[in-house]
Structure 1
Amino acid sequence: MKKNLQEMLKFPCYFTYKIIGLSRPELVDQIIKVIQLCIPGDYIPQIRSSNKGNYLSISITICAKNFSQIEKLYNEISKISMVRMVF
């Protein structure tokens, strides 16, 4: 799968991460902080709350220069304790 994704993308390209995490006010700030450390820029996340309000769904688009940036950011976002899924 990794190889297929790598072959499909032409860099630089826009890449959107979808993140599901606990509904906490600091979650979005922590995600943006991690992204800023890897790829500085202005980011405007799209945020949706789950039906019961326990989780947030966050979509955020970056401009990646290479595939290793995408992988590194995926791994760093996954390390945030409130994050449950990254795809």
Structure 2
Amino acid sequence: MTTANDKDEIFAFPCDFPIKVMGRSTPEFTREIGALVAERDPAFKPETIEVRASSSGNYTGLTVVVHAQSRAHLDDIYRALTAHPDAKYVL
């Protein structure tokens, strides 16, 4: 039987955890994603976001590295990112 604590044992929290976000290329996308993460992770520095444009230029791929304190903290960040209207995929 798996419990909530067993899930936390997969990762040793706190830890740095990369999250990939793919979304529509808009002037605000990278800034807004950075702000969402910074609200939930005070150690996050938006200037560390890795940005890649798609070959067509319609989408932007971002990699943000968060300092997750717990599974619940990581889940909170994922929920905020997936709720962003321009985010299409969050991995």
Common topology (TM > 0.5):
yes
Query: Match of 2:31?
Result: 29
Structure 2 vs 1, CA of residues 61 and 51 (structure 1 numbering), >3 Å: closer, same or farther?
Answer: same
CA RMSD of aligned residues (A): 1.8
The 5-angstrom pairing of residues 37-76 of structure 1 reads: 37-41=39-43, 42-43=45-46, 44-76=48-80
Counterpart Cα distance in 1 of 2:89 and 2:42? 23
Paired amino acid for 2:29? L
Deviation per CA, 1:35-70, whole angstroms, max 9, x where unpaired?
111111323100000010000010010111111111
- How far the C-alpha of 1:7 sits from its partner, in A, is 2.8
Number of matched pairs: 86
Counterpart Cα distance in 1 of 2:53 and 2:38? 23
Structure with higher Rg: it is 2
Counterpart Cα distance in 2 of 1:4 and 1:28? 34
Q: Which ranges in structure 1 are unaligned for 5 or more consecutive residues?
A: none
Task: Calculate percent identity across the aligned residue pairs.
Answer: 23
Counterpart Cα distance in 2 of 1:84 and 1:5? 26
